[in-house]
Structure 1
Amino acid sequence: MVCNVSFDQYLESDTKWLAFVRAVKEAKKAGFAMWLYDERGYPSGNAGGITLRDHPEWEARGLLIADTESQGGPVTLELPPGKLVLAGAFAVRDNNIDIAKRLDLTAQVRDGRLTWQAPAGRWRVMAITENRLYEGTHADGNLHAKIPYINLLMPEPTARFIDVTYGGYAQHLGDDLGKYFMATFTDELSLMSLFLRPMPYRPLPWASNLPTEFRKRRGYALDAAILPALVVDAGSAGEKIRYDFWLTVGELVSENYFGQIQTYCRQHGVLSGGHLLAEEGIVGHIPLYGDFFRCIRRLDAPSIDCLTSVVPAVPWFIARLLSSAAELEGRPLVMSETSDHSQRYRPSGDQRPKRVVTEAEIRGTCNREIIAGINCITSYYSFADLSDEQLCRINEWVGRCCTALRGGHQVADIAVLYPTESLWSKFVPSRHWTKEAAAAARIESLYRAAAESLFAAQRDFTFIDSRALGEATVESSVLVHGQLRWRVIVLPGADTMPLAAWENLAKFVRQGGVVIALGAVPANSESEFPSARVQEVAKEIFGESGAGSSSAREPQSRVNAAGGTGVYLPLGLESLLPIVLDGLVERDVKVAKAKSPLRVTHRRLDDREVYFVINDSAKPWTGQVDFAATGTGERWNPATGQREETWTTSAAQLSLQPYGAALFRFTSSKPPRRRTITGGGLPNLVLRAVPGAEPTMGHGEFVRAELAPDVAHSRGGSPAWQAAAVLTKGKVDTHLFLQFHYSQSLDLSDADCLAIETWVPDGQSTPSQLLVILHEEGGGDFIAEAGRSLAAPGRERTFVMLSRFQLAGWSKDDDGVLDPKRVGDIRIGWGGYFGAEREKVQFSVALPQVGVVIRNDK
């Protein structure tokens, strides 16, 4: 149960405090497990407005950037609100600016507008102001209270928040808050430097103490001259500035907010818990927190919220992210606020009917969270149309599963890097969410592809940060961090880390470990962009060609004398990760049936090997499961709490109901067998074109568009088409899709992915991501991102795993899962884009191809 003092006269009414204390003590007597919620609604930090009372200087602040490109001629730029920090122009060469060669345009600013006659050539014109962060942010757009928010970069506002909030609870309940509460819960705090709706300028976090802290920590000045590198690519010098800026921001948020709360809670006998804003997208983590992973490490009871109970859309990966931080820090408690909010909440004017989730869907939702490391679920469900009997079944199921899996530690051979530093060097702020951070979005796409493919392949893993890589010790061919032992490290889009982490990875491979790089190879350290030493590490791990450009198109592998293996999969082939792993390390849990809906996790607790196996499907499943276990085995049924079977082999015949599960316990386990690949041992991806079809085009009301054959990019058997659009109105939701329709449904059941080949013209700055939609005949629309930005010029071939398609928010489907045997349409295009009037958006696409992975058994 989550509780807090009354929101009425919040924290300031003796009468309300008396009522709260009485209720808490009665709840404790009744045996309730309680969490202490630390805010009047959300986001946490305001204390219902008390924190900023008499201290307006503590409000969240930011740098606001208006910028445009010019090819010469008149330039007009409306300045953002606030105090002018910089007005300048930079020549653009090879898509980079030189921050040392700024043309100062301060004298060209009049009445809130910059006007300038640009010389011939390509120019980036920019105006930066400093102002409060409120309009367009989460403070302005949340559903609870639209009030100013505190600045997390400063220590003073959080200290005040703790004093009036946590101090109030300690004053009325005593200094041992752990006597009553499992943990505290802080909710959706952020730097506010991300816009939830389209704005005419871009934000960066700022505070009066930031320049001082930056100089103290990084050794040089954070002055106006270097700020443009945070917004526009400025070569290797710019990458270093971005790294240092976001590192400093991450340190300050971690120390000044999370650290202060953690310290207070430890002094008062209670775990510090909570969840962060927008946990799903790791690009957004940068402007919201600087270093998300550093922040969640400071939570003693890390938590998430899960707002959907449509099971295929349940974000298991954020549960695994938060639980991974708990594993690294040795924290036993990981919580989720779980609900059917997305199925029930409808904003004003939204006529969609509310969707009633079933008992099975709630069970499936909780299964996904539990298998990803959640072991305490706080329900915010409506429980519409469920009987008391059903409610009892759900609660007993969740209670048994969480109890059986809490404690001990995760057992997983694989660790996946959370690529913080690589995101820092690629991130640029956006006018809406993170839509203009195309290079960072590519890293996120690789990260998500790695996680999703491992999840679907019954390969459990731990998310780790570069700190864990640097701190871990190498024991033979295993990387050891506390009780965690990894035999394979996956690097999604990672080209930047501290040198100590790269050196430890090299040592790991020298002693027989495995490193798999997706889409990028080691290039930069914390101080050098690029680093000659890091490039030597890349060569040592991946071989000569693997140490070259990250845009290399061929897979690369290298095996040393100790069996240490480096594998590089270029952008677009990250979907081969599970197949590559099968050639390197046998699975901890083997499922006989291909493309099984089973998902698994393994924990070691109470001197037993505990496996949790779920059916992540709305259909029943029957088959054999083999465990890398020895000794006596037991199967426990979460529905009854009973042990139902005992045997002495490692294999079990299993039948699971829709969204069912089983718990297995063994007396011991053995590490899955390690294999060694040889030259030519990497799998192949075989492509075939879909049946020929002439596309049609659909677009929004404020889009004028033409569709024509693209002769220049067409090849024999692979025709291409060009869609050229102009937006006729700015700041409205626009879309455009090419549609390949098939009167006789396509059967893609043997396919692993779709291959989409596209071209984007030079100079296009549209930040939207390319989307792919599959329409199920007689069912719904299923959508996936292609991992391709419409701001990235030239040709790209991207691969979209079929397992990544999710039911679109506007669509309905009986079971919410794509049936690959009944694909009626393939649509490729862009949507949800709030561009500028007269903006041109153009791309070309070839006839899609189907990809099938073929193992190479040499």
Structure 2
Amino acid sequence: MDREAFLKPAQEYRMKTIIHGWPDECGILADAVRDFGYGGTATNPPTENGYTGNKENLAKFGRILEELNSRDMDYWIYDELGYPSGHGGGQSLEDHPELEAKGFYMHRRMAWEPKNAVFDLDDESDRIIWAAKYPCDCSRMNTSIVLYDQMERVAFTDTHCECSMKENEALFIFCVKSAYEGSHLTHNVSSKNRYINILDEKAVRRFLDVCYEPIVKEVPEAYKNARAVFTDEPSLQTPYIQGDEVWPYALAPWVDGLFEAFEEEYGYSLLPYLPMIFEGRSSSYTVRVHFYQLIGKLIAKNYVKQISDWCVEHGTCFSGHYLAEESLRAHVLYYGSYLEVLRASGYPGVDVLASYPDIYHQNTTRFAQMAARKNNTNGIMVELCPFINMEHFSEHPVRYAAGILSLLYLGGCRCVNSYFSSDFSSYSSEILQGYQGFMSRGQSIWLNEYTGRLGSMLDQAFHECGTFVYYALEEVQAKTRPSHCAQEASDSEADRSIFEITRSLFDRGYDYLFADRDDIVAAAGSISENQAWISGCRVENIILPAMDIIYPETWEALVRLREAGVSIWFADKLPKYRVGEKAVFAYYDFREESVLDAFTADGRYFAAIPAEQIVQKIEKQEKEFNVQADASNSFLTAKFQKDGRKIYFVVNKTEEKQEAAWQCSGKEKAEIWNPADGSIMEVEAGKSVTIDACRGLFFVF
């Protein structure tokens, strides 16, 4: 471990400031960025007068990059005029309306006696894509069971469907329309442009043609010299985003060829079961899991991998961040399978909007960290954008930014592109008058050095953790149905449970990682001498959130891990359904719906207990390293290994400095590496060390 490199961190570890517009004297701003301690910038061509369609903009962009290159400054290329990435400032859909984002919805008719049904497409929709009718079993009170294996196709045109219906028959008509109203497109601070279909390979190719290719044509070395490309919140537009609005159409993601792709992927036709995407309870779970997993694979292939391959071909890496990373509900609604999408990227990333530690979401980086661990990408990129509760943030902006950065690096961040800006106008009041921000030059230099030391210390460090929380994506996929209004994470039982588990761990200072089905199965396969491993970490605890459905191979692997001595904890209930198994329709009376899927505590292999009890049991487990503060629950600790040494990163989450007394099994002394000033000192076990508010220290053995 290099002490000099820690004291004077290289620019690659410092923050990159995000600049979307440059003055004509762009070299002056580049000088200011370097003088204020930054490692470089994330930037884009001028956005006015046609964006990348204007050669003058591209020529100026070339001059900007020349100024950065001449100063040996790193840069990222931001790939859009605003966000979400894909609309190309309106160019992507110009003369190509067929590439717009689409969704499909269901229209349901029921015949309680014979009748003739007529349906005509409305003026909001594009066309009818499927129609079928089914007999229904209505023999029991309060039930109308669709008999999916007796589907009868109904003739239709693009705009009209008409058929005769027998008693107790259901007719389902499915229609496609643009996904726009009420979406992320109409509720952002950038634009209200219509948007491409990220499921469509041709639409994404069009985005490349209008936003990437013009740059490389006019500035051939632009991408080759770039650290990475920054894509910003590309996403499906079928979910509604504003909780106060209700819309006429409940949309599922659509792209031409979707039905054929489903059958190719899973070996059965989706058509008989298409209503299950929109309705049904446990009997519909497997179809929905398959559907949303396929959506994730299509986005990963057609958006992320296509652009990533282009970037590699042109000498750089594809990165950026996606939308609403903090919840599984959003992972399904916006991507089908967020992890599938993120793993297709060259370097995963997130954004963080929390402006101070008290409101930091503990899972902001943790889901993306899972992709980084699987892909071995040496951490993730974070867009730092302190946006929430700016009034409080403004009281101590540098302190709070340092606190957020400490938590981010502990949770997997290794690179920062920042909207937390500096007052560059002080460098040149005449030329940079409009470039004002939160930090003075001195504050900016300090925060960049602090961030640089975090990055230098943790670069290529192995994150060692034995507690894993299960990434219960199949549970949320199974229960995701298109809605007429916004769907919140708080509506998802799995999300509520995961939040409770991880917040309890976070508040008590315990580290954790997420693990998915593949990790659990691999861990079971790694068992040797009653030890199991995930990505080089010995597995000690696996915590599963409240869920009703799980992959059978995950369950079987958990049984084997339990037999090998791994502690397996289920929070609140045991899953009683398995993905792939046909669930029989569960009869119930609507008055008893509140007790459906009630608490299931005991099973053959496992017992479920409240999440709080799980964390209490983990608290009682023996720890190799302990650090105590004046105030309880002040610190968060994570363990790393690097160059044959153990590193414990301890972050003070509070707004008060704390005196920390430490103990480490078999160790009498520790080196304390302080990222605030680059100092290194030796401290004996049991002696107190001061950790300032919202900062961290490295305990090195």
CA displacement at 1:660 relative to structure 2: 2.6
Residue 3 of structure 1 aligns with which residue? 43
Task: Render the CA deviation track for 1:368-409: whole Å, top value 9, x for unaligned.
Answer: 222211122222125556433223222222221222112122
Partner of 1:568: 608
| 1:381 pairs with one of 401, 420, 424 | 420
> How far is the alpha carbon of 1:628 from its aligned partner?
5.1
Residue type of the alignment partner of 2:44: N
Q: Which residue of 1 aligns with 2:277?
A: 230
Aligned partners of 1:312 and 1:215: how far apart in 2?
A: 47
- Summarize the alignment of residues 650-689 of structure 1 with structure 2, pairs less than 5 Å apart: 651=686, 653-666=688-701
Q: Quick one: structure 1 residues 234 and 94, their matched pair in 2 at CA, closer, same or farther if it must change by over 3 Å?
A: farther
Residue 444 (structure 1) aligns with: 495
Distance 1:78 1:5, change over 3 A: same
Change (3 A) 1:584 1:525: farther
Contact persistence 2:362–2:506 (CA under 8 A) = no
Deviates more, 1:246-255 or 1:167-176: 167-176
Q: Aligned-pair distance for 1:444?
A: 0.8
Matches of 2:615 and 2:503, distance apart in 1: 10
Classify the secondary structure of the residue corresponding to 2:698.
strand
Does the CA contact (< 8 Å) of 1:64 and 1:204 recur in 2? yes
Aligned positions of 1:241-390 closer than 5 A: 241-343=287-389, 357-382=396-421, 386-390=439-443
Q: Which amino acid aligns with 1:332?
A: N
Match of 2:561 among 487, 496, 508: 508
How far residue 330 of structure 1 moved from its aligned partner, in angstroms, is 0.5
Q: Which residue of 1 aligns with 2:147?
A: 100
Consecutive unaligned residues in structure 1, runs of 5 or more? 345-351, 532-548, 559-565, 667-858
Q: Partners in 1 of 2:505 and 2:110 — Cα distance?
A: 42
Hey, what's the Cα distance between the residues in 2 that align with 1:627 and 1:271? 40
Tell me, yes or no, if the aligned pair for 1:239 and 1:529 is still in contact at 8 Å: no
State the match for 1:206 in structure 2: 254
Following the alignment from structure 1 to structure 2, what is the Cα–Cα distance between the partners of residues 451 and 354? 24
Output the amino acid matched with 2:670: G
- Aligned residue-pair number: 621
Contact 1:421/1:496 (CA < 8 Å) preserved in 2?
A: yes
Amino acid at match of 2:661: Q
- Cα distance change, pair 622–88 in 1 and its aligned pair in 2 (3 A): farther
Q: How does 1:543-558 map to 2 (within 5 A)?
A: 551-552=598-599, 554=601
SS in 2 for 1:503: helix
Aligned to 1:148: 194
TM-score normalised by length of structure 2: 0.79
**2:515 equivalent in structure 1:** 464
Separation in 2 of the partners of 1:481 and 1:16? 48
Q: Any residues of structure 2 matched to 1:622-771 within 5 Å, and which?
A: 622-627=659-664, 630=667, 633-647=670-684, 649=685, 651=686, 653-666=688-701
Paired amino acid for 1:575: E
Change (3 A) 1:60 1:516: same
1:27 aligns to what? 68
8 Å CA contact retained: 1:97, 1:233: no
Alpha-carbon distance between aligned partners in 2 of 1:392 and 1:94, rounded to the nearest angstrom: 72
Take 1:588 and 1:477, find their aligned partners in 2: how far apart are those partners?
23
- Give per-residue Cα distances to partners, 1:828-856, cap 9 Å, x unaligned: xxxxxxxxxxxxxxxxxxxxxxxxxxxxx
Which of 654, 665, 670 is matched with 1:617 structurally?
Answer: 654
Q: Tell me which of 412, 427, 452 is aligned to 1:399.
A: 452
Q: Structure 1, residues 313-363: CA drift from partner, whole Å, max 9, x if none?
A: 12231212212221221101412111233345xxxxxxx999555322222
Other structure's SS at 1:301 match: coil
**Cα deviation, residue 553, structure 1:** 5.8
Partner of 2:588: none
User: Does structure 1 conserve the Cα–Cα contact (< 8 Å) formed by 2:216 and 2:222?
Assistant: yes
Aligned to 1:730: none
User: Aligned partners of 1:556, 1:580: CA distance in 2, in Å?
Assistant: 20
CA contact (8 A) 1:88 1:106 kept: yes
Query: Relative to total residues, which structure has the larger strand share, 1 or 2?
Result: 1
**Matched position secondary structure for 2:348:** strand
Kept in 2, the 8 Å contact 1:65–1:127? The answer is yes
Which is helix-richer, 1 or 2? 2
Cα 1:148–1:635 change in 2 (3 A) is: same
- Residues 67, 77 of structure 1: 8 Å contact kept: no
- More RCO (CA 8 Å, sep 6+): 2
Shift of 1:55: 2.4
Q: Does 1:221 align with 2:221?
A: no
Alpha carbons 1:141, 1:196 under 8 Å: kept? yes
- The percent of aligned pairs where both chains have the same amino acid is 24
Q: Aligned equivalents of 2:637 and 2:410: distance in 1?
A: 7
Q: Which of 529, 532, 535 is equivalent to 1:476? A: 529
**Aligned pair in 2 of structure 1 residues 231, 31: CA closer, same or farther (>3 Å)?**
same
Judged with a 3 Å threshold, the aligned counterparts in structure 2 of structure 1 residues 479 and 497 are, in CA distance, closer, same or farther, namely farther
Matched residues in 1 for 2:59 and 2:312: separation?
Answer: 25
Instruction: Say if 1:421 and 1:497, in contact at 8 Å, map to a contact too.
Output: yes
Change (3 A) 1:216 1:47: same
Instruction: Tell me, in whole angstroms, the C-alpha distance in 1 between the residues paired with 2:515 and 2:627.
Output: 25
Q: Aligned partner of 1:637: which letter?
A: N
- Whole-Å separation in 1 of the counterparts to 2:143 and 2:643: 57
1:186 aligns with 2:234: no
Mean Cα deviation higher: 450-459 or 83-92: 83-92
**Post-superposition shift, 1:242?**
1.0
Gap regions ≥5 residues in structure 2: 1-40, 423-436, 585-595
Measure, in 1, the Cα distance between the counterparts of 2:268 and 2:603: 40
Q: Which amino acid aligns with 1:471?
A: A
The alignment partner of 1:244 has SS state of helix
Instruction: Give the Å deviation of 1:190.
Output: 0.8
Distance change in 2, residues 1:551/1:71 (3 Å): farther
Distance 1:61 1:397, change over 3 A: same
How far 1:579 moved relative to its partner? 0.7
Alignment of 1:582-601 (within 5 A): 582-584=619-621, 586=623, 588-591=625-628, 595-601=632-638
Q: What are the equivalent positions in structure 2 for 1:105-184 lying under 5 Å apart?
A: 128-174=174-220, 177-178=223-224, 180-184=225-229
Alpha-carbon distance in structure 2 between the residues aligned to 1:105 and 1:582: 59
Q: How far off its partner does 1:222 sit? A: 2.3
CA distance in 1, matches of 2:344, 2:215: 21
Quick one: structure 1 residues 353 and 491, their matched pair in 2 at CA, closer, same or farther if it must change by over 3 Å? Answer: closer
Distance 1:49 1:373, change over 3 A: same
Letter in 2 for 1:64: Y
TM-score by length of 1: 0.65
Residues 235 and 314 (structure 1), Cα distance of their counterparts in 2 relative to 1, 3 Å cut: closer
Give me the whole-angstrom Cα distance separating, in 2, the residues matched to 1:321 and 1:145: 28
Cα–Cα, structure 1 residues 317 and 68, in superposed 2: closer, same or farther, change >3 Å?
Answer: farther
Counterpart CA distance in 2 for 1:474 and 1:330 is 22
Q: CA offsets, 1:15-34, max 9 Å, x none?
A: 32222122213212323221
Q: Rate the CA distance shift 1:504–1:385 in 2: closer, same or farther, 3 A.
A: closer
Residue 424 of structure 1 is matched in structure 2 by: 477
Deviation track 1:697-754 (CA, whole Å, cap 9, x = no partner) reads: xxxxxxxxxxxxxxxxxxxxxxxxxxxxxxxxxxxxxxxxxxxxxxxxxxxxxxxxxx
Aligned mates of 2:611, 2:328 — CA distance in 1? 18
Distance 1:239 1:554, change over 3 A: closer
